[in-house]
């Protein structure tokens, strides 16, 4: 049900754009107005979200320690898994963001007769996750060529590396294949593993289909139904220079479909779980040093509380204390 709803939602979105351009000539709407609106929503939304998170303080120092603490000099502490200072935290975060360190720990718990519990390797999620995110990033970077008059060297290098297999014409980009495979795997896993299907929401299927839709329309454009790339670049350049103008040539409805789905992704981003991209940097269980006994951490909303003082305690028990030979403050 949730899968179908998500799938058809993306399909309808795609058709709307395709038909809009093909039948109703709404190029300006889908090529200029919506992309601008989506981009603004994205920026404003993400900034708003980060400010919102940032406005809540971190009252306590609560890193999840995944290794030996720093104590006595002769005990080797785990600088990456249990950092005691800023450098360690930066390194820990870099590993998380660039290589999904925590996901790499993943295990599969299995119960067999005996009863015996065993914990098997389970690296596929990590691998597919990494493959998906990195290829997504590289594809985004490659797209920068559309927004610049002269394509800078790093981007040409990425393109060259990405197509080093030298297959087909136009040259096949590996990331295109990897992205499609990885997203497909993530989807299959989501419907195939009963527990995962049980926890999944439309909020989980929809972005997967959306990204798949963007990738598929992109691949179709590049390898199968050619669109006018020069025209696309002219549009992109005009958008980024804030002088939006539709090119003279017809770029092709497929392009507008691609652009529209991307716009939807951008607009959807700040309201969804996709904000994990920004959130991961703010996670207090990962981005804090484990040094709370060495360095005082201040809670901005710490307030005085009602305590049971020693004096009250002694008042309650003075006779018993004296009887047991315990010293008292007041005789």
Residues forming contacts to ligand HEM in the complex (CB under 6 A) are 97, 100, 103, 125, 129, 132-133, 186, 190, 204, 207-208, 274, 276-277, 280
53 binds, among ligand HEM, another protein, none (CB under 5 to 8 A by kind): another protein
Residues 8-37 that bind another protein (CB under 8 A): none
Q: From the list 51, 55, 166, 330, which residue makes contact with another protein (rule: CB under 8 A)?
A: 55
For residue 97, the minimal CB distance to ligand HEM (Å) is 4
Partners of 309 in the β-ladder = none
Classify the phi-psi angles of 101: left when phi > 0, otherwise alpha if psi is within -120 to 50, otherwise beta. Answer: alpha
The C-alpha atoms of residue 232 and residue 235 are separated, in whole angstroms, by: 5
The C-alpha atoms of residue 168 and residue 224 are separated, in whole angstroms, by: 12
- The pair of structure tokens assigned to 92 is 């820990």
Asked if 227 contacts 235 with a C-beta cutoff of 8 angstroms, the reply is no
Partners of 107 in the β-ladder = 121
Asked if 162 contacts 171 with a C-beta cutoff of 8 angstroms, the reply is no
For residue 122, the minimal CB distance to another protein (Å) is 9
241 binds, among ligand HEM, another protein, none (CB under 5 to 8 A by kind): none
79 binds, among another protein, ligand HEM, none (CB under 5 to 8 A by kind): none
330 binds, among another protein, ligand HEM, none (CB under 5 to 8 A by kind): none
Residue 58 within binding range of another protein, rule CB under 8 A: yes
Residue 184 within binding range of another protein, rule CB under 8 A: no
Angle at 182 between CA 172 and CA 45, to 5 degrees: 100
82 binds, among ligand HEM, another protein, none (CB under 5 to 8 A by kind): another protein
For residue 171, the minimal CB distance to another protein (Å) is 33
Residues 207-266 that bind another protein (CB under 8 A): none
Place of tokens 């720093």: 70
Minimal CA–CA distance to 61: which of 305, 303, 295? Answer: 295
Partners of 108 in the β-ladder = 120
Residues 68-107 that bind another protein (CB under 8 A): 68-72, 74-78, 81-82, 96, 100, 102-103, 105-107
Residues in the chain: 331
Q: Is-cis flag, bond preceding 115, omega within 30?
A: yes
65 binds, among ligand HEM, another protein, none (CB under 5 to 8 A by kind): another protein
**Orientation of helix 202-219 relative to helix 174-192, angle to 10°:** 150
Q: Give the side-chain half-sphere CA count within 13 A for 205.
A: 22
Residue 308 within binding range of another protein, rule CB under 8 A: yes
208 binds, among ligand HEM, another protein, none (CB under 5 to 8 A by kind): ligand HEM
For residue 2, the minimal CB distance to another protein (Å) is 9
Q: From the list 25, 51, 116, 248, which residue makes contact with another protein (rule: CB under 8 A)?
A: 116
């Amino acid at each position: 049900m949730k899968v179908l709803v998500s799938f058809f939602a993306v399909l309808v979105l795609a058709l709307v754009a395709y038909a809009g351009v093909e039948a109703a000539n709404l190029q300006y709407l889908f090529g200029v107005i919506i992309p601008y609106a989506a981009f603004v929503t994205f920026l404003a939304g993400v900034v708003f979200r980060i400010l919102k998170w940032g406005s809540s303080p971190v009252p306590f120092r609560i890193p999840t320690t995944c290794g030996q603490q720093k104590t006595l000099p002769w005990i080797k502490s785990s600088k990456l898994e249990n950092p005691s200072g800023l450098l360690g935290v930066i390194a820990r975060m870099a590993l998380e963001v660039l290589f999904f360190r925590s996901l790499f720990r993943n295990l599969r718990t299995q119960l067999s007769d005996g009863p015996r519990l065993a914990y098997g390797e389970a690296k596929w999620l990590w691998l597919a996750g990494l493959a998906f995110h990195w290829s997504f990033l590289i594809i985004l970077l490659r797209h920068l060529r559309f927004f610049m008059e002269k394509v800078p060297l790093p981007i040409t290098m990425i393109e060259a590396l990405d197509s080093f297999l030298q297959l087909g014409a136009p040259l096949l980009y590996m990331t295109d294949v990897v992205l499609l495979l990885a997203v497909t795997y993530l989807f299959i896993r989501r419907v195939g593993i009963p527990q995962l299907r049980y926890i999944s929401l439309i909020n989980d299927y929809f972005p997967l289909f959306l990204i798949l839709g963007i990738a598929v329309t992109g691949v179709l454009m590049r390898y199968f139904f050619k669109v006018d790339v020069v025209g696309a670049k002219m549009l992109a350049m005009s958008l980024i220079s804030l002088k939006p103008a539709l090119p003279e040539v017809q770029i092709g409805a497929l392009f507008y479909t691609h652009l529209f789905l991307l716009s939807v992704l951008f607009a959807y981003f700040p309201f969804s779980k996709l904000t994990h991209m920004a959130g991961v940097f703010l996670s207090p269980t990962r981005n804090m040093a484990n040094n709370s006994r060495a360095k005082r951490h201040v809670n901005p909303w710490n307030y005085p509380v009602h305590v049971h003082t020693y004096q009250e305690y002694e008042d309650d028990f003075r006779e018993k204390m004296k009887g047991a030979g315990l010293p008292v403050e007041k005789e």
